[in-house]
Structure formats: C-alpha cells, structure tokens
Amino acid sequence: MKTRISKAMATRLIETGIALTSINNLDELLEFIVHEARGLTKADAGSLYIVNGSNLDFLVCQNDTLTRKVGADAERGLFTVYSIPVSKQSLAGYAALTGEALNFPDVYNLPPDAPFSFNKEFDRRNGYRTMSMLNVPMKAPDGAIVGVLQLINSLDHNGEIMPFEDDMVAVVQALASQAAVAVKNAKLTAALMDAHLDTIFRLAVAAEYRDQDTARHIQRISEYTKIIAKSMGLPGRDVILIGHASPMHDVGKLGVPDSILLKPGKLTPEERVEMEKHTVFGGKILAGSESEILRLSESIALTHHEKWDGSGYPYGIKGGSIPIAGRIVAIADVFDALSSPRCYKPAFPMDKVLAILEHDTGIHFDPDVSKVFFGNLDEIQEIHRRMKESG
Amino acid sequence: MKTRISKAMATRLIETGIALTSINNLDELLEFIVHEARGLTKADAGSLYIVNGSNLDFLVCQNDTLTRKVGADAERGLFTVYSIPVSKQSLAGYAALTGEALNFPDVYNLPPDAPFSFNKEFDRRNGYRTMSMLNVPMKAPDGAIVGVLQLINSLDHNGEIMPFEDDMVAVVQALASQAAVAVKNAKLTAALMDAHLDTIFRLAVAAEYRDQDTARHIQRISEYTKIIAKSMGLPGRDVILIGHASPMHDVGKLGVPDSILLKPGKLTPEERVEMEKHTVFGGKILAGSESEILRLSESIALTHHEKWDGSGYPYGIKGGSIPIAGRIVAIADVFDALSSPRCYKPAFPMDKVLAILEHDTGIHFDPDVSKVFFGNLDEIQEIHRRMKESG
C-alpha cells in the first residue's frame, strides 16, 4: 500500500502532518482535515464523521458547488448536525465498522449485493448530484477508528466529475491516520481543559457553601465580568480568562469564622477587620500557581474590594494601581449583591441599585469601567433576569 | 530541499510523524525522537537539547558503543543533565540560535574560522571519539526553535564512521520539525495537567483552612494511600488517581458550622449528626464531574467514614460494598489523625496508635487493607516523620 504513495504526495503529507498537529482547536482541526483531503484528491465536496459511542456524528461538510450557488453563509445553513449508527447500512458506517476504505465511481449505482445504500436526501433537498465517493476510516495507531473522512466528486482538469484514482486511496488513508491522532490529541487537550475549568468552578462553589451566596451568583459574576471586559476592548483571551477567574473572588471567605461571616446585624470595627481579611486569605489560597486562570483569580481575590479613591481594602491602593480585573469585578460584585435577595435583605429595586452605582462612580468605581457597565446595562440586566436565584 | 527526500524516506517519515504524535509522555517522546533520527541516519550516538529560556537543556543521550562497553544502566550513569547557553560558541547553541543545520565530517577538525568549537570533555572522560556530527534545529511551524537534535558518528555497512550524507540533512530536518510540534504539544498537555492537579490540591487545602488540619495532613494522606493502593496490587493508573483524589476526602467540612467543627469538647448527639454530614456535603461539592480524579474523590468523600462492620456513616454500608478507595482512606485518615498533634490533643505515642488500628481491624478497617498497611509500616512511618507538622 505504502509504495503506492508518490514522492510528491509523501512530502506533502509530511507537511500536512506537521500542520495538523499544530492545531489544538478541534473544530478548526476537523475543517482543516477535510480541506487538506479535498486538496489532495481535487474533491468538490467532503465531510467528516466522528465516532461517538456507537454513532457517527456528522460534523464537517464542505461543498464548493453549493458554496458557489448560495454563498458560504447560506451553504453552512444547509447542513444540520446529525448522527448515524456505526453499521453496515451506510457507506460511512461501513467504513467505521470494518476499518475498510470504500471507493465508488457512482454512489447512485452501487453493487446490488452491497450491504450499504446511499441516502439521496441531501442531494434532493439541495439540487446536488453526488457521484464518485471515497470513504476512508480514520484509524489511530492503536487500531481505534476515530472517524470517517468522506470525499465526494473528484474533479478532472476540466472540472468534470471522475472516479477517485485508486492510487489516492493510500494517500488519503495516510492522511486519515495522521488526522486520527491529531483528533485524539485535540480531544484529550479539550477534556483536560474542561477538567481544569470544572475544578476551578467547584473551588468557587465550595467557597460560597458557607455563605448566603449561591452558585448562581458565581455564574452571574462570570457573565457580567466577561461583558465588561469585552466591551472595554480587552483581548479575547483576557475576556475568557476573567470569565473563569472572577468566580473565585470570595474564596478567602473560607478563612473567616462563621460568627462574623454569618452575623445578621452590623459588624463591630474589630469584626470588620476580620471580615476584610477574606481578600488576603483568598490571595493566599490561590497564590503562586502556574495556571494563568489561578494567577488572575489571585489578583482578583486580593483587589476586588479596593476602591478608585483609595478608601478600599486590604491595601488602600487607588486608581490605575488597582488591576483592571479587580476594578471590573468590584462593580459586578456590588451590582449583584444589591440586586439580589439575601437572607438578611430583599433585592433592592433596580432604580435604587443603579443610583447607588452611579453615585459611587469615581469614588468606589473606575469611571471608565462604570461607563462601560452602564453602556451594557441591557445585556447585564438580561443576565440578571435569566440567572435569578430560584426562589 | 524537500525534493532531496527520497520516496522511501518520505513514507517512513509519515509513519514516524504519526508515532511521535501519539506519545504524550515528554521523556518517552524525547527518547523516541533521538532513536528514530539515529535509525534514519545509522548514527552510533545521538543527543537532544531542549530550549529553556536562553539555555539549552541536555536531556537525552544515546550511545551504542558506550552501551556495549559498559551496559545500558552504567551508560545512563555516564551522562549528567546540564545546560549550555544558546550562543554561537557551541555547535548545538549555534544551530538553536541561527536555525541552521550544521554537518561536519570530523568535529576535531572544524573550520579554523568557525565561531563554535567542540567540547572534547565527554570523549576524554568516557574514551569515546566523536567524529562526524549533524546538528539540526527543531523548528516548529511558527518558526520557534524548540530544541536541537544532535547525531553523532554515522556508520557505514561495515560499522566504520563516515560523514552524514548531505541528502540526510533534509530528512532529519523534516523529522526535527515533526518532533518540534510533538514536543510543544506534550509540554502543553503536561502544563494543563499540572494546572488541573494544582487546582485540585488547592480545593483540598481550602477545605482544611477552617480546620486544625494542615496542608501537610493532605500531603501525607496522599502518600499513605498511594503506598497502600500500590501494595494491594491496584493498577498503576489507579494508584496515581487515589494519590490525587484522597486529599479531598474532607472537602465537605466547608458545609459544617464553626460551632460544631471547632468545638473543643465532645459533640452532643445532635451536633454529631451535623458533623457527619461533611461526607454528604463533600459528595455534593464533587458530584457529577467529567474528571476521573474528581469522580474518585466524590466516592472517597462519601465513603471514608464507613466501617467494615457496617457501623459507619453516612450510609452504614459494610465490607466489600464500601469502595476500595474509601477503605484505604479510612485507615490512612485515622492513622494520621491519631499520630499527629491537634490543638485539642497531643500526638498519641506510636505504639498506642498501632494498638488502636490493630484492635479496630475487622471492625472499622478492612482486614486486607489493614494487613497491607502494617506490611508497609516502615515506609508509612518514614513519611510520617519526613512530613511532620512544622511545630
């Protein structure tokens, strides 16, 4: 099989393998795989199915003819995500089940004894004619089938549909193997990232366990801070980071005794001092991590009670000396506390909440952050409504 | 350059690329890269340097001649990990700095005007003669130099040293590019895993924040449970998992009020009921995660106070119905609590601790787990001594 790959194809596959491997985003990777496979085989269209338990999820569909006809945006609308079983009844299912490649010059004329049939539904709906088709399983080095690469309508120099050349099967198989490993790796990375984010969220939820605050409060803070950060023009990466880091702003409350944390009335000056230590405790719990998210959450825990005029705690720093993330969480946290019910107070009416925030702009809050907050008030209030405490 | 790669080499590189990409462990990956590069070039020896800031860390060294002379184990002892600066003064440093490959038939006769020189120290110490040498930078698709692959003494069919063929430079460069991406990915995965484990550890530490327990307690529990799990014959993967999951056994204490958690005297029956809820709270905080570690920690949080005879809490399950991880943490936790000082009690003398554990075997503790615990007592006590509370 391997000897059927030409030297030019082989050197191109080396490049492709390197390119594949450097894409970490799964969606981007899947699109790239189909794009490369179509380039190698001059295929008018191509799809990608990923094995999900005993099903194949249809995830990528590229079709030059339809794109020309209806435009790229409209074309994307033609395809819906769907699943088919891994079984001998479909071409892709057969390839996934048996690990064999299937190459047919015209899928409207399949061998009469073939166990699979071609579903003409898509063609009928979109006025397309699928003719030649190559289905290649994506096989990882351990033999596991990760998905199926489906190439449609190989085109000759005149743009006429021709069968996929037999020599190309080995080339696409090699590409599909490279793709299989790349997909496995991208999934592994995504799962690890999910596990990391999940644990961070639990750390935040655990901290709120002793308080009247709820998991909802944490989620709202995450949403509010992302809106503000994005609208302030922070880079996309920083917007995502603050969304993950801001829920941990009160993690240091774990270090505050119940007698103070849960006291119904006003705190004495001595108790206030103890309560305010939650910022420093939070900083300690989160200190010194290699994780970017935890490093940002350390900074937020330490600075979300600082005030623009320098009258905040724990350090009394002011203005631009307060990290931007701390300034953003400050207004989001106060807005959420005032507008939500607590066991010791009802939710304030919205006009009163906004009047307080407005009054404290330039005193407690950074005027620029405050401006952006009010500029996005509709979206922020929508989140407030949508993610209310379940009464 | 690319056209100089033969068809046979190119198809081999495709296979190598796939194999490289499927190795997630960094050390294993680096050894494999050198092994493959040596195979392609018939090199007697080979090394790998990884860029670390402005230095190159020397991480892999393979040498067939020395292995034959002294044996594989002794050979490994000949090499020490060291760093050299990325600079024009060394061959590897030059390749890393400039991105150029360097190929010399005899490094003892370098061009007199070369900015680099060859360090004969290793040869002198080990009675080796480095002659032909190929240094190839490992360049990622974004142009970043990840490391340098160094191949030494290409051998002809008779085992005689010959220069590295010029045609092989392009082949090794292609391999080095594949290796560069694989190394970057393996580092990314390792960093993500570290971040995940770091966050899990902080969750455990945060939970102990309100208690007399310390970060040391958590670390000791992790070590004890690993020793017991390993000695009970659990698969290596499960041993690692329990080491990461067991520190979170008491995370549910976050849900217990201070008045009960920190009460100096004996608890009333009502307070006991509240205190025992920490197992269920822990289960809730950790419930429903996709992370294997968190799933195991959920089970441990729920079951580490169950007893072998069914007299434990929260469910009163007994014997083999208690998950093995819960049975292991049970004995580790009691041993650590008894043998460590708490603000309300000094550490018990070791003979008293062991007498209690022995007495409770078959009542509180699984006899098999207890047997393994006592069978590894030396190692467990050594950890107890080494990781003592700093007074």
DSSP state of A295: H
Inter-chain residue contact A21 with B21, CB threshold 8 Å: yes
Measured CA to CA, the distance from residue A20 to residue A33 in angstroms comes to 7
Residue B209: its chain A contacts at CB < 8 A?
A: 254-255, 281, 285
Residue listed under structure tokens 């289905």: A135
Cα A81 to Cα B120: distance, rounded to the nearest angstrom: 63
Cβ-based contacts of A198 with chain B (< 8 Å): 289-291, 294
Best residue of B23, B184, B199 to probe chain A, by most A CBs closer than 10 Å: B199
CATH number assigned to the domain covering A209-386: 1.10.3210.10
Where are the domain boundaries for CATH 1.10.3210.10 in chain A? 209-386
Q: Quick check: A335 and A373 in contact, CB under 8 A?
A: yes
From chain B, pick out residues whose CB is under 8 angstroms from the CB of A181. 18, 21-22
Helix (H, G, I), strand (E, B) or coil at A43: strand
Percent of chain A exceeding pLDDT 90 equals 71
**Euclidean distance between CA atoms A183 and A150, whole angstroms:** 16
Rounded to two decimals, the ipTM of the complex is 0.76
Handedness of CA A35, A39, A41, A45 (dihedral sign): positive
Picking from A295, A213, A327, A214, the residue whose alpha carbon sits closest to that of residue A262 is A213
pLDDT tens, residue order, chain A (391 aa)? 445 788 888 888 998 999 998 898 999 999 999 999 999 999 999 999 999 999 999 999 999 999 998 887 777 776 777 899 999 999 999 999 999 999 999 999 999 999 999 999 989 988 999 999 999 999 998 999 999 999 999 999 999 999 999 989 999 999 999 999 999 999 988 888 888 888 888 888 777 776 656 678 888 999 999 999 999 999 999 999 999 999 999 999 888 888 898 888 889 999 999 999 999 999 998 998 888 999 999 999 999 999 999 999 999 999 999 999 999 999 999 999 999 987 778 899 999 999 999 999 999 999 999 999 999 999 999 999 998 865 4
* Optimal mutation site among A146, A200, A202, interface B, most CBs of chain B within 10 A: A202
The SS3 of residue B83 is: strand
Residue of B1, B20, B21 best to disrupt the A interface, most CBs of A under 10 A: B21
Pick from A7, A202, A210: CB nearest B203: A202
Token pair for A128: 């397309």
Chain B nearest C-alpha distance from A204 (Å): 9
Chain A positions in Cβ-Cβ contact with residue B177 (cut-off 8 Å): 18
Q: How far apart are CA B228 and CA A207, in angstroms?
A: 31
Q: Which of A19, A181, A209 sits opposite B18 (nearest CB)?
A: A181
- Report the CATH fold assignment for B2-186: Beta-Lactamase (3.30.450)
CB contact under 8 A, B210 and A254: yes
Q: Which whole-number Å values give the CA distances from A192 to A133, A196, A330, B195, in the listed order? A: 36, 6, 31, 9
Residues of chain B with CATH 1.10.3210.10: 194-386
Q: What is the pLDDT of residues A142-169, one digit of tens each?
A: 999 999 999 999 999 999 999 999 989 9
For A2-187, the fitting CATH number among 3.30.360.10, 3.30.450.40, 3.40.50.720, 3.40.190.170 is 3.30.450.40
Segments of chain A assigned to CATH 3.30.450.40: 2-187
Does residue A250 contact residue A208 with C-beta atoms inside 8 Å? yes
Tokens of A104: 């047919």
Q: What is the pLDDT of residue A9?
A: 86
- Distance CA(B221)–CA(A360), nearest Å, equals 49
Burial status of residue A155 (CB atoms within 10 A of its CB: 0-12, 13-18, 19 or more): middle
Where are the domain boundaries for CATH 3.30.450.40 in chain B? Answer: 2-186
Contact state of B258 with A254 under an 8 Å Cβ cutoff: no
What CA–CA distance (Å, rounded) separates B375 from B391?
A: 29
Q: Which option is the CATH number for B194-386: 3.40.50.200, 1.10.3210.10, 3.30.1490.100, 3.40.50.10490?
A: 1.10.3210.10
Q: Please name the member of A14, A205, A286 whose beta carbon is closest to the beta carbon of B14.
A: A14
Chain A residues whose beta carbon lies within 8 Å of the beta carbon of residue B241: none
Alpha-carbon gap, residue A292 to B293, rounded angstroms: 21
- B342 forms beta bridges with B345
Nearest-CB residue to A290 (from B24, B194, B206): B194
pLDDT, tens digit, 9 for 90 and up, residues A273-316 = 999 999 999 999 899 888 899 999 999 999 999 999 999 999 99
- A168 contacts A136 by C-beta, under 8 angstroms: no
